[in-house]
Structure 1
Amino acid sequence: MASITSLGIGSGLDLNGLLDQLKEAEEEKLVPILKQQETQQTKISAYGQLQSALSTFQDAADALNDSTLYESLSTNVDGEAITATADGEAQPGSYNVIVDTLATRGTLASDGVTAADEAITTADQTLTLNFADGSTQEIDIASGSTLEDIRDTINATEGSGVNATIVNDGTNFRLALSSSETGADESINNFSFDGAAPFAADTANTRQLGTDAALTVNGIDITSSTNQVEGAIQGVTLNLQEEGESTVNVEQNTLKVREAVTGFVNAYNDLKDKIGDLTSFNSETGEAGELLGDSAVRTVESRMRIALSSGSDGQFSVLSDIGISLKRDGQLEIDSDELDNAIVNNQGALSEFFAGGSDETGMAGQINTTIEQLLSSNGRVSGAITGAENRKASLVEQYARTEQSIESTMSRYRTQFGQLDGMIAQMNQTSSYLTQQFDALDAQLGRD
């Protein structure tokens, strides 16, 4: 049989076109598998959104599950002289603060030199800085140093006690020193060189000694080397801003508690909205949410309803006791007046309701436990994600097997079509030969 190098040449038939049509028909087997893969990927993404919303709600519940939240204090300052912050040791109270003097840094400048970038030392020597409390700091200065070099050496020396800059007074350049810390004792007082001094300290004209802050708290005199005063009021840090008078009120931090409760309600409502989106159905368009009718979502909703409706034996037993109600659409709603009343007047009962006596006994703790169970490696949500991922992996394998089957089928078709092409070509050759022989015979008979 003659060898056929291109389908259809021997037979004259469009066998390649026929093969293409057969391949398109075979590849239709892949379409439903791809659609199922997309469906599983969509579900995985949807479960991830549900997981994220649950985690956010869990974080909001955790904030309410901390008993120290209901013990925290805040400072309210009337006046511009100070700002203040309170820590866990502070006690409620009101304090009158009068700032008489702010703490300042000591400053000192040198005599002038004609150029800042020309060498002014002829040998290695030591610069000694003298401070108001009698302490000193020695700094090694290299031979051939310029004023800029001396500045840089001082600033590079750890614990020098000063910051150095260069000031041009219009005629000469001066080394200007400023104490690193405020206060009288930390003030730069003088400096000297142990060798030939390139310049001297201008103590007569430029020395300004640092000062301590002076203030009174409820009439009690207080001094501080810094403008951040700690310990004058137990658990309160005063930051002095200017001379003047301010009143500091230390009180329960109702704002922080309200923000935590509001954050809890908003996070739950966001979770409810997300579930609504994932399980929605539009009757007009026929479009459905990715998890419509999903059993994992129904489990989440059921567990959340149980956790939110659980009660306690304290003064506040259910959410409605503190002004939080469950609406018909499943969202939580806050009655601001009732909630503010609970926060302002009974944070102890509020703490017992949300935080309880341990991490698991209050409502927030119970919600946290429920979500942990749902999101754990063997929980309902994680199990749903794992199931969807396994189904997708199985479909990927099925797609690969189907592709191999299609390729095998097409290879068989190519072989069969090649054989058909060869057979038809041979038949055409035989037909042509016989025709020629009959024509020759007819011609011979006609001559006879």
Structure 2
Amino acid sequence: MTTTTATTATPTPSIATTLGTGSGIDITALVNSLVTNAFTNKNAMLTQKNDALTAQISQISTIKSNISDFSAALTSLTGSGSLSTQPTSSNTGILNITRLPGADLSGLSATVEVRQLAQGQVTSSQLFSGGSATTIGTGTLTLSFGTATVTDGAMTDFTQGPAASIDITIGSGNSSLKGIADAINAKKAGVTASILSDNNGARLVLKSATGASQAFTLSGTGDLSALNVGVGASASVNQVAQDARVAMDGVEAKYPTNSISGLIPGARLDLVAAQVGTKVAIGAATPTAAISQAVTNFVDTYNQVLKSVQDATDPITGPLRTDPAAKDLLRQLKSLSLAELVPGATDDVPHKLADIGIKTNRDGTLSVDSTRLSKVLSTYPDDVEAIFAEGAGISKALSSLVATAIGSSTAGKETGLTSSNKTYTKQLDKLAEQQDKIVSDTANMRERMTQQFAAMDAKVAAYKSTQSFLTQQIAAWNSSS
């Protein structure tokens, strides 16, 4: 048997692995060194530019976020009404009063007497000993709204209002007392139904919304008539539908609900209890403590925003030291304390931040003169309130400053920091293209030099082979001599 020995073909070495075999020089390392040195300065320059542009874009984003958040927080605060004159009630056990958005309640003074609370009609059916599962019957229940006269729990007269009557169909699937209550509630017709149960059975209880015009009747066909509400019906009227009666400064008015927004302009009254003869004093109070706290918070936040802009525009280390939009924002921030915040205000009343005790320090930051602020608040409460009014005063001034600083992009034309950001982004994109080109050029140069040194290495190998042959020949000649 002949044994065949397998042989493994020796792979052809690549240029990279054979470079230097002829010359004895580490050509791969030499080529890498030459290529690296050729592009070191360019790469360093592009990296430096990349870092600078990235810092500029990041700083613009931070500044835009800071000033936007500052403005939004101030707008939210002034819009909440907490810095505006608040209405007061001398007896919250009878009524509460709340300021409505945008209202000017300065100088508010009145007396209010709650003579009657608004309430809805409440009725209860006869007792059904079988409880809520008692089958009443099928057919149609008709609900009508209007005004009613009630004497000793019985409806003696009813006048239907302009609204059309509402029919509620009762089938075999909901003919029980509970099923009928559910059907009435599902109709959402202005009356809510519930079941009142005790050891003796259950009753159907119906209740309407408040107001004299919300009295109602209920009439049923067939066996459903056992649930009738109205003149001559067996159901009891446990609570009469009536309007609230309120007298302001002795003049009475009626309202269908206990939450009244039309009696005092800019305020809502919530009636709690009726007490004939008791007059509740309504007044107004300036939120001095809230405004003082708001001034402190404003100054603290302003200083934080100012520092971020100052750092960004520092003439030596600031990444935005040459950016016109950032430098203009710094200028606007520094002039904010002297801005006219109340149009038409005379010089003898406070109308600027500097007028209420907000001082500008040498470094541009602000500080609060608490003594002066307290004095101005007690002497000119309405004028200070105007500075912190919703959609006006300092809130409006800061919003305008932010809009100008951030800028916009309209019809392809950018302004403010938006323009700066676009410029830096474009430059960064071009830089990326240059970096991509360097990568390509580096690869091409490495390939070209590798080929050149490969050719050189082959020639050196040939020369060395000739040298070796000649050396052997000379040695042979010398030996034969």
| TM-score normalized by the length of structure 2 | 0.67
For 2:193 and 2:47, locate their aligned partners in 1 and report how far apart those are by CA, in whole Å. 72
Change beyond 3 A, Cα 1:195–1:327: same
Change beyond 3 A, Cα 1:151–1:422: farther
For 1:171 and 1:16, locate their aligned partners in 2 and report how far apart those are by CA, in whole Å. 105
Provide the residue aligned with 1:406 in structure 2.
442
- 8 Å CA contact retained: 1:212, 1:223: yes
- Report how far residue 332 of structure 1 moved: 2.0
- 8 Å CA contact retained: 2:244, 2:257: yes
Provide the residue aligned with 2:180 in structure 1.
150
Matched to 2:172, the amino acid is G
Provide the residue aligned with 1:7 in structure 2.
16
- 8 Å CA contact retained: 2:117, 2:273: yes
Deviations 1:19-70 (A, max 9, x none): 666676677553542342232112112123233444456668989999xx9x
Matched to 1:112, the amino acid is F
Change beyond 3 A, Cα 1:95–1:351: closer
Matched to 1:229, the amino acid is I
2:423 to 387, 391, 394: 387
Matched, 1:107 2:134: no
Matched, 1:270 2:301: no
Matched, 1:251 2:284: yes
1:139 to 145, 150, 167: 167
Partner SS, residue 7 of structure 1: helix
Return the structure number with greater relative CO, CA threshold 8 A, min gap 6: 1
Partner SS, residue 140 of structure 1: strand
Please identify, of 78-87 and 89-98, the stretch whose mean Cα deviation from structure 2 is larger: 89-98
For 2:365 and 2:333, locate their aligned partners in 1 and report how far apart those are by CA, in whole Å. 12
Please identify, of 259-268 and 57-66, the stretch whose mean Cα deviation from structure 2 is larger: 57-66
Partner SS, residue 128 of structure 1: strand
Gaps of 5+ in 2: 1-10, 148-158, 409-413
- Give the paired residue count: 424
1:314 to 333, 337, 347: 347
Provide the residue aligned with 2:89 in structure 1.
77
1:44 to 49, 57, 67: 57
Provide the residue aligned with 1:284 in structure 2.
none
Please identify, of 78-87 and 238-247, the stretch whose mean Cα deviation from structure 2 is larger: 238-247
Change beyond 3 A, Cα 1:37–1:118: farther
Change beyond 3 A, Cα 1:238–1:410: same
- 8 Å CA contact retained: 1:130, 1:137: yes
Provide the residue aligned with 2:207 in structure 1.
178
Deviations 1:334-369 (A, max 9, x none): 3344334434544676689899xxx9xx89877766
Provide the residue aligned with 2:407 in structure 1.
376
- Report how far residue 227 of structure 1 moved: 1.0
Residue identity (%): 23
Matched to 2:207, the amino acid is S
- Report how far residue 75 of structure 1 moved: 0.1
- 8 Å CA contact retained: 1:102, 1:242: yes
Change beyond 3 A, Cα 1:223–1:113: same
Change beyond 3 A, Cα 1:16–1:121: farther
Change beyond 3 A, Cα 1:131–1:376: closer
For 2:308 and 2:34, locate their aligned partners in 1 and report how far apart those are by CA, in whole Å. 46
- 8 Å CA contact retained: 1:8, 1:421: no
Change beyond 3 A, Cα 1:149–1:37: farther
Change beyond 3 A, Cα 1:247–1:7: same
- 8 Å CA contact retained: 1:37, 1:392: yes
Matched, 1:339 2:368: no
Matched to 2:128, the amino acid is G
Cα RMSD of the aligned pairs, angstroms, is: 5.0
- Report how far residue 222 of structure 1 moved: 4.8
Partner SS, residue 49 of structure 1: helix
Partner SS, residue 196 of structure 1: helix
Please identify, of 240-249 and 137-146, the stretch whose mean Cα deviation from structure 2 is larger: 240-249
- 8 Å CA contact retained: 1:61, 1:368: no
- 8 Å CA contact retained: 2:86, 2:98: yes
